[in-house]
Amino acid sequence: MTPLLPALRRPLFAAYGLAFACGPVGAWLALYIGIGLGATACTPPALLTLLLIAPIAEETVFRLGLHNWLLERLPTRWGALSLANVLVAVVFAALHALHQGSIGMLLTAAPALMLGWLWERSGRRLQVPIAAHAWFNLCLTLASCP
């Protein structure tokens, strides 16, 4: 059986720490700019979607689908970032712009890059970006609910 989290080697441990710290910071920034989720995010169906369904569905489609496909075809890297990760973050952010606007798109791009980076660093273990995605959504939800 595969462990939930890969062995916590020093660089990967730092990556988890960075992702953990970014959740509250991102939530504060979103609220400061004025794109919090609002009271509708506090209903049980919305919480189920934000904390479970969306992270699993989006990370499965974007990491196992698009990101994986692009990595096989575009092996270019710029330091810690792969071209595939950058392209997936752009697509992910653009799709979020449909209901969050351009500022929401910009605020979604950075976490999308981090989720892709975590996925690659973890050896492509899908549970890693799913957990981080759920954490980001939880932070934003807690900050948005009255």
Pick the more confident residue, 104 or 120: 120
Q: Which two tokens stand for residue 144?
A: 């948005």
**Digit-coded pLDDT (tens) for 31-41:** 777 666 666 77
- Residue 83: CB atoms within 10 A of its CB come to 15
Q: What pLDDT is attached to residue 132?
A: 92
Pick the more confident residue, 6 or 40: 40
78 within a domain of the structure (yes/no): yes
Amino acid at 37: L
Domain that holds residue 125: 14-144
Q: Are 55 and 133 in contact (CB under 8 A)?
A: yes
100 within a domain of the structure (yes/no): yes
62 within a domain of the structure (yes/no): yes
Number of domains in the chain: 1
**Digit-coded pLDDT (tens) for 121-136:** 888 999 989 999 999 9
What is the rounded end-to-end Cα distance, in angstroms, of the chain?
41
Q: Are 112 and 89 in contact (CB under 8 A)?
A: yes
55 within a domain of the structure (yes/no): yes
Q: Are 19 and 132 in contact (CB under 8 A)?
A: yes
92 within a domain of the structure (yes/no): yes
Residue with tokens 């020093």: 10
**Digit-coded pLDDT (tens) for 79-102:** 889 999 999 999 999 998 887 778
pLDDT-derived band at 120, boundaries 50, 70, 90:
very high
**Digit-coded pLDDT (tens) for 27-83:** 777 777 766 666 677 888 988 998 999 999 999 999 999 999 999 999 899 988 999
The helix/strand/coil state of 112 is helix
73 within a domain of the structure (yes/no): yes
Q: What pLDDT is attached to residue 19?
A: 77
Give the whole-angstrom CA distance, residue 127 versus residue 5.
Answer: 8
What's the mean pLDDT in 100-124?
87
94 within a domain of the structure (yes/no): yes
pTM of the model: 0.83
2 within a domain of the structure (yes/no): no
Extended strands (E) in the chain:
77-78, 81-82
- 8-30: string of b/e by CB count within 10 Å (b at 16+)? eeeebeebbeebeebbbebbeeb
